[in-house]
Amino acid sequence: MQGRCLCGAVRYRLRGEPYHVTHCHCLSCRLASGAPFVTWFTIRALELEWRGEVRHYQSSMGVQRGFCPRCGTTLSYRHESAPDEIDLTAATLENPSLLTPEDHTWVDNMLDWVRMLPLLPRHRRHRQLNRSA
C-alpha cells in the first residue's frame, strides 16, 4: 500500500499491514485537519518508508503531527508512549477503500451534526443549484 500528500511532494509506502483503523473526533485532530474527524490507521514505524520531507509539529505534550510543508496535508501522528508505531491518515492512501474503520474514538468530542450524516441528502457529484428563485 502507498499514499501521498495533495501535491505529491511527500509519498509513503507500507511494507506491513495496517491496524487500529479508527475515526478520531478529538479537538486536536479536527483543528489539525480542518475536518469534523480524521480516519487514522496504525503501522509499525519500521514498516513505513517516506519519500520527501515531512515536517513535524508538537500539537500537545508527547505528540508529533507530520504534514507536507508544501501543501499542508496532514499525514501522521506519533505519540512518545508508542515509539514503535505511527498513525497515518487513511484518506492519503492511494486506495483508502482497502481499509475498514473499526470504531470511533474521542466520541465525547464528536460534533452533534456528525451524528446526523446518514440522514442528509446525497449527491453523486456536486450539488445541483436551484437557479429558478
Question: How much is the pLDDT for 131?
Answer: 62
Residue 114's alpha-carbon distances to 24, 41, 105, 111, in angstroms, are 12, 20, 13, 5
Strand 19-24 relative to strand 11-14, pairing: unpaired
**DSSP letter assigned to residue 122:** -
pLDDT band at 22; cut points 50, 70, 90:
very high
Task: Assign residue 13 the CATH number of its domain.
Answer: 2.170.150.70
Question: Is the four-CA dihedral 30, 36, 42, 43 of positive or negative sign?
Answer: negative
**66 domain-assigned:** yes
**123 domain-assigned:** no
**6 domain-assigned:** yes
Task: Give the other-Cβ count within 10 Å of 24's Cβ.
Answer: 22
Give the model confidence (pLDDT) of 53-84 as tens digits. Answer: 999 999 999 999 999 999 999 999 999 999 99
Domain count, the chain: 1
**125 domain-assigned:** no
30 has a pLDDT exceeding 80: yes
Range of the domain at 10: 2-111
**124 domain-assigned:** no
Residue 66, H or E segment: strand 63-67
